[in-house]
Structure 1
Amino acid sequence: MIDNLPYRQVGTEDLRPGGLLCVADHASNFVPEDIELGIDRKLLTEHIAVDIGVEGIADRLARRHGMPAHIACVSRLVCDMHRKEDEAAVVPATSDGHLIPGNIGANIEARLDRFHRPYHAALADLVAEAKPKLLVALHSFTPSLATSDEERPWEVALLYNQDDRAARHAIRLFGEQGLNVGDNQPYSGKQLNATMDRHAEAHGIPYCTIEIRQDQIANEAGQARWAVMIADVMGRVALEF
């Protein structure tokens, strides 16, 4: 965390209203020293703690492709920015079959005050200032879950709730790249869309929630490749609005 803030913003110095804006809720696996999760440290490198590969893509989009980014600086196991305040998973007690002992009986209100509320207040201010034509939410998903034998063949997926305008364009454009594209898979934006519900749909702002399979972006080469593709596809989607 920088200056004890649960987020950092990249590429916002010369913000020009009407462009594209990137949001990465699960970009970090950082756990503050005063919070003890009670888990094996190895789990902090896995999908339950962080959306693998997303931070590198968000940084590249901001620094090289002109898409300012709002990036989380704390692990989703500490406080999940992509959950509503009243959801149990905002401070998860379990994740993909793993118990998170340090979160059992945790002071949820304190976690919300320290992490969740400042993160979303700053994002709301940034959206108000940027007046983006399109919001781009970046996530990644594991090829397989420990608690399920579900196949996850999609290389990329688009999630949406009520407003599917931008997602429909993006699904088609990613498909034209020869990719296996998920339509509200492996999760449904009808259930998991908290940040975009709050900052996009509530204000009539078109958005794309992009889920990339983690084996595609586990290294810098993959992240660079996907940053180029996302910048291209999102740029073309934004032309529709």
Structure 2
Amino acid sequence: MTSLRWAIADGWTITRRDLIHWVRDPTQVIFGVLFTIMIALMFAYLFGGAMIVPGGGNYREFLVPGMFGMNMLFGIGATMEAVRKDIDRGVTDRFRSMPMSNSAVLLGRSLADMLNSTLVLLALVGCGLAIGWRPNNSVGETALAFALLLLVRYAFVWLGIYLGLVVKTPTVVQTLEFPVGFLANVFVAPSTMPAWLGTIADWNPLSSTVAAIRELFGNPGWGGDSWVTQHAVLMAFVWPVVILAIFFPLAVRRYWRLSS
């Protein structure tokens, strides 16, 4: 319990450090909010007329949950860049020389990124409500949908932290966000893709989250006959847990072997 208490206390100290940086230079946070809103408006008003909604439903109710999911993925690059920047500036080495919990620096980074992601998500929710999106199911199902979004985001944060510790040029890996994001069920039904590509899209963790929240919000979705599509809510929980179980220990282990 003492170790856990110090891990939480040290982690919160690092979180405050990152938040203070954002307060002093809010450019990244403001740009993230504005970019997310711009993409949502662009798809809603520029491309919306060309999109066919499954079952003839409201296109914006179909679009917005997909944008929620894409937003949870697109923060990986920023996380990687922040981790890499601390390493290159020697800040990480200084933290490692201090008497603090093994996971505190990485835990603080993940909590700060989650606060940032929650802010951007709230801005996107406000944008969605303004353009006509509505959750049509119960309050409990709506809350579960948002919980699944934040869960997959936290898993992606730890993937980004690990990649930031391993990859020396984060900008190269940042280019993978768009292929991974678009190789999903966000804008196109996997059933319209070649069979092998559609299978990959179905088993994309992002696809499970987007399908699950569309179901929980009561918004239109693509449907599908595959097992993973039929159990979207279950897989929207399983995928993030698996990602966390893999990349959390890998990140902590890599952090303490940076100089080896």
TM-score for the superposition, normalised by structure 2:
0.31
Structure showing the higher strand proportion among its residues:
1
TM-score for the superposition, normalised by structure 1:
0.33
Q: Which has the higher contact order (CA 8 A, sep 6+)?
A: 2
Structure showing the higher helix proportion among its residues:
2
